[in-house]
Amino acid sequence: MQARRAARELTLILFSQFDKKITEYSSKDVDEMLLKSVRILTNNSTESLQLTVGGLLEMKEYVDNFETDHPNNLSRPIEVSNIPVPLTSDFSGRIEEMLNIAEKAMLALEIAEMATLECQSDVKDYINKIVNKYKEYSQEIDKTIQECSKGWDISRLVKIDKDILRIAIIEMVYLKEAPMKVVIDEAIELAKKYSTEDSASFVNGILAKVVRKEELK
């Protein structure tokens, strides 16, 4: 997994904790909030895993009972193992849903682990680059979002959407270390994961305008 992908997600959680102007936070403040971000991500992942495990245990019990009570197995001797029987589409859908939850949880744990390991200092370095650029250009960045929002009042936008846009604009306009398409795709994925149903298309539309406005390639 790429360090920048981990950095984007942790930066989003970090930005969600800002309750005053970014310029009022010291480097120590940011480090403490980053540690808190890792803990938030880890705790959320743990809760998701616990829920998933509980669901999987229910599914296991369901499968066992379904196979045992199936006519093909009821007629077999008790000492003989059950034979597999076809599962319903509804059951398969439930398994798929839980697997998706487990995958997200494991991904989040991987991000947290990467951020805390010394050998992955590039994650923290990239986070600091984003934070420092936002400290320096926060007014310009928010103005860009406002101008590209078709008359929307930026103060009324969902905060998580604004933070996703801020991170993406910093990467696209001020850092330019990652491919533009990757930055946009990752911003859309963050919107799908953390915000409302309409946020992904909104973020995509705003960033497309930023590309044209800044004449990015």
The model carries a pTM of 0.70
Task: Tell whether the model's pLDDT for residue 115 goes beyond 60.
Answer: no
Task: Write the CATH number for 24.
Answer: 1.10.940.10
Least trusted range by pLDDT, from 61-70, 80-89, 92-101:
80-89
The number of folded domains in the chain is: 1
Instruction: Tell me which residue range forms the domain holding 55.
Output: 3-213
Task: Tell whether the model's pLDDT for residue 38 goes beyond 60.
Answer: yes
Query: Mean pLDDT over residues 206-214, rounded?
Result: 89
pLDDT at 88: 46
pLDDT at 48: 78
Query: Mean pLDDT over residues 184-193, rounded?
Result: 94
Write out the chain in H/E/C secondary structure.
Answer: CCHHHHHHHHHHHHHHCCCCCHHHCCHHHHHHHHHHHHHHHHHHHHHHHHHHHHHHHHHHHHHHHHHHHCHHHHCCCCCCCCCCCCCCHHHHHHHHHHHHHHHHHHHHHHHHHHHHCHHHHHHHHHHHHHHHHHHHHHHHHHHHHHHCCCCCCHHHCCHHHHHHHHHHHHHHHHHCCCCHHHHHHHHHHHHHHHCCCCHHHHHHHHHHHHHHHCCCC
Task: Tell whether the model's pLDDT for residue 208 goes beyond 50.
Answer: yes
pLDDT at 209: 92
